[in-house]
């Protein structure tokens, strides 16, 4: 354990995660906002899709078991969304979030509409020549490339659902989200009843939500009618249209407090309580979503969590507190899902404007995690990982006297892990260089107490860098491109 001559910083002195009778759905509905921003959608997209899908299920009189599986499939339908972000950005030469958002408003199975969309959005800040070259790249990828994009996303999402110990029917709904009733969807071209019912409902619900939010209810119902028997199961469209007359329901879908509306639709005899193990699964799952967004962030959250826990142990935190700090490390960068891969994967240092966008991600983390009452302290710590003792950090510019030790040690863990990994604009740094850089920032940026604990932990712990896994991930992406 560390003994130090520095003034001891204050600690929160409480658990960062407070659990009691907390429903799993409360946490999942809040965390689904992270998936919304990755898809370029307004916060609440998955929650509103959930309301629409559950209303369809009500019209169909599905049993509670199926409705519960559908409920979680709708909230978590985009769990694999980050896994194809880098390739989407590369294909279009544009902001992956905007491409993902706008793709949901077109019929991409129609060649003319798809070409028009692509021409408008590829290399949208480039010259005509750049646009032509980018279109050539996309043409080379062809149908196979499009199918692979969806397959990567859907398989990844289903795998993470299974990590969460949710029903297999939930995983299959996520896996087959983009299949179409006429067999022209992705990734497997399943047709009609070959597509699991819950996936058919989710496909319809998410499209209706996008058109509802973008154009209004009339257009949302019209797109369902227009694609009846093509994208969508006719029986499901009929159930949706029956609900279309219920103005009270559609008003509830568009209320700002979408989480309280979602709460009303979870089957009461299927409620799941979030115990310690469930929280661990959620934190691990969303860390994987975050780290899949870019090959340069691959396994970063996992590494930060491990280092932060090690520092906490050296500083004498209890086992429960160490556990919570590990969770904060896993979730600290969840807001980075709202940053474009144009910036994350850029082979050069960010411009001033790009750095402004990067500096928003701790705020996004705070907004997402802060929705969860039981994460009140965790959200504060996780969102403070870029704060500095001199108050020149971000996103708040919080100074030393208001930074608890938990936040300070997480910042040290984040810097240490990042310096030992590759970046698009530099190679990984050797341990002696990392120590030199961090030592220069002690007292002004980084906490000396936490840094001393880091050194003590490193002296007795063998920690491999993630460089090899980064390179493997880059190789995988290159092989697909």
Residue 467: which residues within 8 A CB-CB, separation 6 or more? 420, 421, 422, 428
Q: What is the DSSP secondary structure assignment for residue 481, as one 8-state letter?
A: -
Active site residues: 336
User: What residues does 426 pair with on adjacent strands?
Assistant: 423
CA distances from 35 to 161, 266, 282, 335, 406 (A): 13, 20, 13, 10, 27
- The secondary structure of residue 229, as a DSSP letter, is T
Q: What is the DSSP string of 418-477?
A: HHTS-BTTB----HHHHHHHHHHTBTTTB-HHHHHHHHHHHHH-----SHHHHHHHHHHH
Distance (Å, whole) CA 226 – CA 231:
9
Q: Would you say 131 and 62 are in contact if contact means Cβ atoms under 8 Å apart?
A: no
Q: Can you say how many angstroms the Cα of residue 348 is from the centroid of all Cα atoms in its chain? A: 24
Burial of 371 (0-12, 13-18, 19+ CB in 10 A): middle
- Name the residue among 327, 334, 254, 332 with its Cα closest to residue 290: 334
- For residue 453, what are the contacts with CB-CB under 8 A and spacing of at least 6? 2, 311, 314, 315, 409
Q: Chain centroid to CA 379: how far?
A: 16
């Amino acid at each position: 354990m560390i003994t130090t001559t520095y003034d001891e910083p204050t600690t929160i002195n409480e658990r960062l995660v407070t659990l009691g009778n907390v429903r799993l759905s409360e946490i999942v509905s809040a965390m689904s906002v992270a998936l919304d921003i990755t898809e370029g959608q307004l916060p609440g997209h998955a929650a509103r899709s959930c309301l629409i899908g559950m209303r369809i299920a009500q019209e169909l009189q599905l049993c509670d078991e199926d409705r519960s599986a559908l409920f979680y499939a709708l909230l978590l339908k985009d769990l694999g969304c980050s896994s194809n972000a880098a390739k989407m950005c590369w294909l279009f030469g544009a902001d992956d979030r905007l491409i993902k958002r706008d793709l949901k408003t077109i019929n991409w199975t129609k060649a003319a509409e798809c070409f028009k969309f692509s021409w408008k959005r590829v290399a949208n800040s480039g010259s005509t020549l750049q646009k032509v070259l980018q279109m050539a790249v996309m043409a080379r990828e062809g149908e196979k490339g499009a199918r692979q994009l969806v397959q990567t996303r859907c398989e990844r999402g289903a795998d993470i659902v299974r990590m969460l110990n949710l029903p297999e029917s939930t995983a299959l709904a996520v896996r087959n989200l983009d299949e179409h009733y006429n067999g022209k969807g992705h990734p497997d071209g399943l047709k009609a009843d070959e597509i699991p019912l819950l996936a058919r409902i989710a496909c319809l619900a998410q499209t209706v939500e996008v058109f509802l939010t973008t154009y209004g209810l009339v257009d949302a119902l019209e797109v369902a009618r227009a694609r009846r028997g093509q994208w969508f199961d006719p029986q499901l469209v009929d159930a949706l249209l029956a609900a279309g007359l219920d103005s009270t329901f559609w008003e509830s879908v568009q209320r700002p407090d979408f989480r309280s509306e979602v709460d009303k639709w979870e089957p009461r005899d299927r409620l799941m309580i979030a115990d310690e193990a469930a929280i661990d699964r959620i934190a691990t799952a969303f860390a994987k979503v975050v780290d899949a967004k870019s090959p340069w962030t691959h396994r970063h959250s996992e590494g930060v969590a491990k280092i932060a826990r090690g520092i906490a142990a050296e500083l004498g935190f209890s086992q429960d507190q160490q556990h919570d700090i590990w969770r904060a490390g896993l979730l600290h960068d969840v807001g980075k899902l709202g940053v474009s891969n144009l910036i994350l994967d850029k082979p050069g240092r960010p411009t001033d404007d790009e750095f402004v966008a990067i500096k928003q991600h701790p705020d996004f983390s705070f907004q997402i995690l802060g929705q969860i009452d039981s994460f009140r302290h965790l959200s504060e710590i996780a969102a403070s990982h870029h704060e500095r003792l001199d108050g020149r950090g971000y996103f708040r510019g919080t100074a030393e006297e208001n930074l608890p030790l938990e936040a300070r040690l997480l910042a040290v863990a984040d810097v240490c892990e990042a310096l030992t990994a590759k970046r698009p604009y530099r190679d990984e740094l050797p341990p002696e260089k990392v120590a030199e850089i961090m030592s220069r920032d002690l007292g002004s940026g980084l906490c000396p107490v936490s840094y001393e604990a880091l050194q003590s932990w490193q002296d007795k712990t063998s920690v491999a860098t993630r460089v090899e896994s980064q390179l493997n991930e880059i190789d995988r992406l290159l092989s697909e491109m």
